[in-house]
Amino acid sequence: MLSSHMRSLRTVGRRLFNTDASQFPAAKQRFIPTSGNYPKGFYAGGSACGIKKNGKPDLAVLLSDRPAVASAVFTTNQFCAAPVQFDRQLINGAREAGAPIVRAVVTNSGCANAVTGKQGLVDAKLMSEAGDRFVSRFSGSAVGGSSSLVMSTGVIGQSLPVEKISTGLDGLEVGEGHDMWMRAAVAHMTTDTFPKLLSRRYQGGFSMAGITKGAGMIHPNMATLLGTICTDANVSQEMLDRALKYAVARSFNAISVDGDMSTNDTIAVLANGASGAVIGEEGFVEFRDALTEFMAELAALVVRDGEGATKFITVEVRGARSFDDAKRVASTIATSSLVKTAFYGQDANWGRILCAVGYAGVELDTGAVDMSIWPGDGGRPLVLVEKGEPRLPLDEVRAKEILVLEDVKVVVDLGVGQEMARMYTCDLSHDYVSINADYRS
């Protein structure tokens, strides 16, 4: 039963911001859910606490009504931000203690708290403590020790206004319903053009919900942006760590917008067990695959919102000797500026793709390589290369019909093995330069 503290936090603050999908670009509204199936025992909320100059929402909370097992992957950027350092230490401490301790994830947008020196670490801790106080008010009892992860996104090199966050948390509302999850998703946004929220219920008796943000500085090598996935499955620390490692390699580490890796990249998964669905070894693969599929779908939303993007491009590499080989080739194609600009110009310059395959650093049998492009509408694909030989003459009409679509898939079959990997990317447009030329303003 909810305490009076819980009930008050669920019912105040109705004056907060609008989450109606109509305020976002019409082309993106189809990616914004109007309802959801949210995991038991988790609460969400968001508000504007004054970090952003334009007064838009900039503070979000995801909260569990009981201690949750937590796992995370972080940026490998050596200038990793203070929140990354703090969260890594908190999660490692939970692993050493052998007990779930995380109760909340507090996220701010508008200030990254990155490259802020010793004061940044102090501010990250103060932000976590403010989150702990919020949890204590929610539950009606004091929280022992650090229990709140923190995430920050925005401009690098500026001090975090912790007092605004603390004050903002004093009046922030959380709840279990769709609108409250939407508020949290909106509060994550920086250059994003739409909130990225996903939820699913699974036959195993558990649910997942996830929020992510990102539109630029998106490139893999651990995480690639900010995101939190919550599940009410009962899963051990070891299994959650194992599942996340597998899933992130096939989702958030399989997307690229611009090749820049942020200082703040973090993907966290919280499991509170509130559904009663226990994940044992027999059910582990089912849970791992569900998490992987869920995270891949969530990560794809980031690519669809790539800064200035007009195309969503899936790069699928088949017939490789190993998953790592397939992933390397797919990544090389997905990050090629020449490939990305060709897609923007709707130019069937397939030589750029094949060139990227050749310099990916994977041993090839060039006479075994097939390549084709597939339309997102499920229509007939266009074969470009077969057994290393070009399919000539190029069907320019069919190529244009495919490349004019928003969704396009590139399929490369190396013809030397059975392994496969995918990368998700977007095109590179004039607008990307315009957006990033005046980001601080």
203 DSSP 8-state letter: T
Beta-bridged to residue 226, according to DSSP, are 213, 266
Rounded to a whole number of angstroms, the distance between the first and last alpha carbons of the chain is 47
Tell me how far CA of residue 66 lies from CA of 37, 60, 139, in angstroms. Answer: 19, 19, 9
Distance between CA atoms of 247 and 241, rounded to whole angstroms?
10
C-alpha dist (Å) from residue 156 to 111, 112, 150, 211: 7, 5, 16, 22
Which class for 415: exposed (0-12), middle (13-18), buried (19 or more C-beta within 10 A)? middle
Q: What is the DSSP string of 297-326?
A: HHHHHHHHT-TT---EEEEEEEEESSHHHH
Which residue has 């050493």 as its token pair? 96
Which two structure tokens, joined as six digits, stand for 170?
Answer: 């004093």
What token pair was written down for 245?
A: 């490692």
314 is catalytic: no
**Full DSSP string of 267-289:** EEEEE--TT--B--HHHHHHHHH
Strand 255-256 and strand 370-375: pairing?
unpaired
Please tell me the number of Cα atoms within 13 Å of 277 on its side-chain side. 20
307-346 exposure pattern, b = at least 16 Cβ within 10 A, e = fewer = bbbebbbbbbbbbbeeeebbbbbbbbbbbbeebbebbbeb
Secondary-structure percent of the chain, ordered helix, strand, coil, rounded to 5: 35, 25, 40
Q: Which of 153, 212, 224, 314 is catalytic?
A: 224
Determine the 3-state secondary structure of 117 from DSSP: helix
Residue in 291, 186, 203 with CA at minimum distance from that of residue 248: 291
Active-site residues: which are they? Answer: 224
